[in-house]
Amino acid sequence: MTPRFRFLFLSAITIPTVATAHGRHGGLVKAPPRATASDAAATAGRSWLAGDHHIHSRFSAGYEVDPADPAAPPVPQLGKDGRYPIPTNAERARFHGLRWISTTDHGGPLHAKLNYEQTYPELLRSRAAVPEVLQFYGMEFDTPAGDHSSLIVPHTSAERDQLLDIESRFSKREAWPLDPARDVEPRMIEALRHMRAQSSPPVVIANHPSRSAPAIGVYGQYTPSEFRNWNDIAPNVAIGMEGAPGHQATSLKPDGTSKADGVRGYYGNAPTIGGFDQMTARLGRFWDSMLGEGRRWWITSTSDSHVNWRDGGGDFWAGEYSKTYVHARPDHADILAGLRDGRVFVTTGDLVSELDVTARAAGAPSHAAIGGTLTVRTGRDVEVKIHLRDPAGANATGYSSDVRRVDLIVGDITGPATDRTVDRNPSTRAVKRFAAGGWKRDGEYLTMTHRLRRVRTPLYLRVRGTSTSELEPTPDPRGEDPWSDLWFYSNPIFVITAK
């Protein structure tokens, strides 16, 4: 694709739950009840709120060992990994249209104390300075037996102590000297059990799932069985993964010209695919295998902002390129509930700013929306409606990208996998591809419909769209202009059949 640089230097009726998978100790793990879109009391005041749950500040420190006392704990050096104060990140997030963010600084030796004594007070100052952006406390958790995860702490009076407790107990890099016993999967399972039992459980989202993978089609520090284990143990805590990782500005020099060797996301061996991780982007593969079990395993999109590309880094500001939209009221509790319930869609390059997907039994008044579940009589038709906003204004490049195609993707739900390493769902297919002649346009809004005929078995449906002409996203070459390759993804709707 031809690079384009126009940068400016300056988003209660409860329904039956569905079994997701056999727990490790027997029985069925079920998704928590959630409200349907028809429940006016539950949905009142909600709108699409753009955010980012993976942002680093100056408290993502570097560490220096005292040569005179190498056995002493390394001394944290602020601003060596992440560069900016928390209020600066919040101000840039506000500028780029975000309504919520989470500070997720890297851990390290005895970092829990740094978080408690220094990071948290600056977060409080940032909340006061930028009240328009709801700010969560959290960290980029050093995941036992894994890579990193966004750990998002509920906004309560106990948030400071809650993170101190989790980080000091379970973060694999916290102990000094380093403790290999922290870096095993049973330790992560113990951590998830601990988190799920808390009065206000946090949310854990796996970051850059395939960055450590040696190639497309294989996995690195994160594996399919590992994510199934997490989701079995704590489905209300371990809710999903980054669909699109951060670090997407690696091909940009500070003057806006192209850097030919830039690797999107720093995915050096298993490249991103349309800017998305292979665990999400490959149709009918890992993500679809999870959804085919009926698992509530959601995707998000983040900046992973450390150092902005204008300052010589490989990152966009929070909201500058990637956005995670949550359908929620503008308060911390409902945003976190929206993440847990999958009321989420993600986009790059401001390709869309609203996305409503609904499914209803033909002729029925009630419907399910993104993240929800619809129960229909076996053999009934299901009507799917997609309504999105393709904003006419310029994105952060000063250019307005247009939606060229929207795909409705459907897969069968067949129940728990007997092989926990499985990474494919062969039933997944794009049942309808919409282009300009297949939708109705009203200004910035596009509407399209499709009828799934005589639905006899459980299924899920999800939506994907692009600014490109690619039928399927392709691996991203080095030096690619990220603004020329934009995609959006919805989380799924589950359709359950009943006699």
Is residue 334 one of the residues assigned to a domain?
yes
Domain extent for 148: 22-498
Tokens of 103: 């500070």
Residue 166 lies in a domain: yes
Asked if the structure places residue 196 within a domain, the reply is yes
Token pair in block for residue 495: 């359709």
In a domain, 200, yes or no: yes
Structural domain contains residue 10: no
10 — pLDDT class (breaks 50, 70, 90): very low
Look at residue 261 and tell me if it is in a domain: yes
Specify the amino acid at residue 62. Answer: G
Q: What is the pLDDT of residue 229?
A: 98
Query: Is 300 among the domain residues?
Result: yes
pLDDT digits (tens, 9 = 90+) for 271-298: 999 999 999 999 999 999 999 999 999 9
Check residue 393 and give its pLDDT.
87
Residue pLDDT, tens place only, 296-341:
999 999 999 999 999 999 999 999 999 999 999 999 999 999 999 9
Q: 48 and 329 in contact (C-beta within 8 Å)?
A: no
Question: In this predicted structure, what is the pLDDT of residue 92?
Answer: 98
CA nearest neighbour of 258 among 211, 308, 309: 309
Domain count, the chain: 1
Q: Model confidence at 39, in pLDDT bands (50, 70, 90)?
A: low
Rounded distance between C-alpha atoms, residue 331 and residue 17, angstroms: 26
Q: Is residue 12 part of a domain?
A: no
Q: Is the model's pLDDT at 255 over the cut of 50?
A: yes
CATH number for position 473? 3.20.20.140
Determine the pLDDT at residue 40: 66
